[in-house]
Structure 1
Amino acid sequence: MASPQIPNSESQIPAELLIARIMQMHASISKLESLKPSKEVNSLFTHLVKLCTLPSSIDIKALSEEVQNMRQSLIVLSGRAEGLLELEFATFLTKLPQPLNNLNLFPYYGNYMKLANLEYTILSENGVVQPKKVAFVGSGPMPLTSLIMASHHMKSTHFDNFDIDGAANLVARKIVSSDAEFEKRMKFHTCDIMEVKEKLGEYDCIFLAALVGMSKAEKMKFLGHIRQYMRDGGVLLVRSANGARAFLYPVIEENELMEFEVLSIFHPTNDVVNSVVLVRNPIF
């Protein structure tokens, strides 16, 4: 029997079968009356994530127009469901006496921990160890990456979290206000990142969340704006997706990052969903 750690042609799911299964999942998800967390919603999305992280040799660029349209729809549905899950859970946390001590109750906490460890390793390998100021664009109501980075890796760093949704920031602020030290180091800004200009030049490192820019055109618009205003020599960590994981999140290709110096591209093969792309704004 083939080892699951080293996918080969025997252990990979055939692309046609995988696409058929994902299309079935999309049909079921599309029929839901609400994407708010429930037994049915949670079960469907858990199944979808498992499908999309199976070893496969699927080539997203080779998909038919029908499958590409389904994929775009699935990214939007998944993004909405993820936002609703985070909002419900973050709201629940604010009612606990010590919300920051209970982050591990979040269903995908382990996944975030693995991703943050991976991202910090990649940043460290590229000389970003204890940056003074970090921006996280698209932090949402449950700013787990910022919280994990601040408590486990970047213990003196100041974090500015940007989100267009004021309600999300309100809940995130409540979680952080339970700890005086965190509250000093972590701020939340409600705005469209396209309207943030000179301030982007303050950061040693900027994170761009996977769901900021749901389509390729939107994603490129955000990347272009950040590059224009970020500091020369500053680094930008972009979350992307690879293979079947691209049914959950938008993909950024290396050839779309020509304006940047590409430092690292990492595609996970475990249960982590996002690829990690690290680029530097060149110094001219």
Structure 2
Amino acid sequence: MASHQNLNFQGQIPGEFLIARIMQIHASISKLESLRPSKQVNILFSHLVKLCILPSSIDIKALPQEVQQMRQSLIILCARAESLLELEFATYLSKISLPLNDLNRFPYYENYVKLAKLEYGALIENTGVAQLKKVAFVGSGPMPLTSIILASQHMKSTHFDNIDIDETANNLARRIVSSDDEIEKRMKFLTSDIMEVKEKLGEYDCIILAALVGNEEEKAKILGHIRKYMKEGGVLLVRSAKGARAFLYPVVEEHELFDFKVLSIFHPTNDVINSVVLLRKSLIYT
């Protein structure tokens, strides 16, 4: 497969070309016996990510049915591969003495650093509160990078509850943060389906919803559930995707947000993949 780096388009990449290349990679990924980290898996997903962050005018809603189906399949494959990558790296970290010192060896660590900085900036700009008292991160997984980065670099007095449906993931995450007494005392890990967490959601000043919690159909139900139980005036930060980045992650549509006050929506144009959607629960919808 030729590397996208040989492309010399000026400005935006033609949508038809980009989709054709993405479909080729999807076909290659679909043939893999395993999505566990390996040279072949890493090369394919690295090419895919680099393609999807190229500037283009792709409108996901306008894609033909065949491409829509491929996109849904690709999101599932990406989620599985990301989960296996995190699991392998978290297992490695859990066995060394100072795992937090080796976080930057994770392949997408810098992306998380940039995204956390964006999200923290959006929170300050729209709430005026630099240090929230209590934050929930939904879908934290075995490598709770966002929570760790926010807790260590931005929110140095905030308490974090990491909520994940997988107890194995939570056990690994607990081991990783246990090496740092200061971080550990501000971080809890709760094993639960977010749809079964109710009154507890009212404890948080901010709830962050990871991009891969629920597919696009489930996301609207999850948003409605969180809004029902979160505190009045509380903030919900949702990760979404736009354009070709939506071949990697589900999109949160604006019509799904009608019950919230939309504080800001930011679509990155650099190597950060996720869009940042900041919402507030309010009786007054605007």
TM-score range, shorter chain: over 0.9
Percent identity, please. 75
Q: CA deviation at 1:10?
A: 3.8
> What 5-or-longer segments of structure 1 have no aligned partner?
1-8
Amino acid at match of 1:253: E
Q: CA deviation at 1:123?
A: 0.4
Match in the other structure for 1:28: 28
**Contact residue 163 and residue 169 of structure 1 kept, 8 A:** yes
Q: CA deviation at 1:182?
A: 1.4
Q: CA deviation at 1:134?
A: 0.1
Match in the other structure for 1:5: none
2:177 counterpart of 1:173: no
* Matches of 1:29 and 1:167, distance apart in 2: 26
Match in the other structure for 1:6: none
2:153 counterpart of 1:152: yes
Match in the other structure for 1:46: 46
Match in the other structure for 1:195: 196
2:104 counterpart of 1:104: yes
2:130 counterpart of 1:141: no
Amino acid at match of 1:217: E
**Contact residue 254 and residue 262 of structure 1 kept, 8 A:** no
Q: CA deviation at 1:255?
A: 2.3
Match in the other structure for 2:222: 222
2:60 counterpart of 1:60: yes
* Matches of 2:132 and 2:283, distance apart in 1: 18
Match in the other structure for 1:4: none
Secondary structure of 1:245's counterpart equals helix
Write out per-residue CA displacement over residues 164-215 of structure 1, whole angstroms, 9 at most, x where no aligned residue.
Answer: 011111100000111122111000011101000000000000000000012x
Q: TM-score, normalization: structure 2?
A: 0.95
* Matches of 1:217 and 1:94, distance apart in 2: 35
* Matches of 2:174 and 2:85, distance apart in 1: 17
Match in the other structure for 2:162: 161
* Matches of 1:106 and 1:138, distance apart in 2: 18
Secondary structure of 2:130's counterpart equals coil
Secondary structure of 1:279's counterpart equals strand
Match in the other structure for 1:120: 120
* Matches of 1:11 and 1:108, distance apart in 2: 26
- 179-188 or 111-120, larger mean C-alpha shift: 179-188
Q: Structure 2 matches for 1:206-217, cutoff 5 A?
A: 206-214=207-215, 216-217=216-217
**Contact residue 130 and residue 154 of structure 1 kept, 8 A:** yes
Amino acid at match of 1:213: G
* Matches of 2:104 and 2:10, distance apart in 1: 36
Write out per-residue CA displacement over residues 2-33 of structure 1, whole angstroms, 9 at most, x where no aligned residue.
Answer: xxxxxxx9421100111100000000000000
Secondary structure of 1:171's counterpart equals helix
> What 5-or-longer segments of structure 2 have no aligned partner?
1-8
Q: TM-score, normalization: structure 1?
A: 0.95
Q: CA deviation at 1:283?
A: 3.7
Match in the other structure for 1:3: none
Match in the other structure for 1:17: 17
Runs of 4+ residues over 6 Å off in structure 1: none
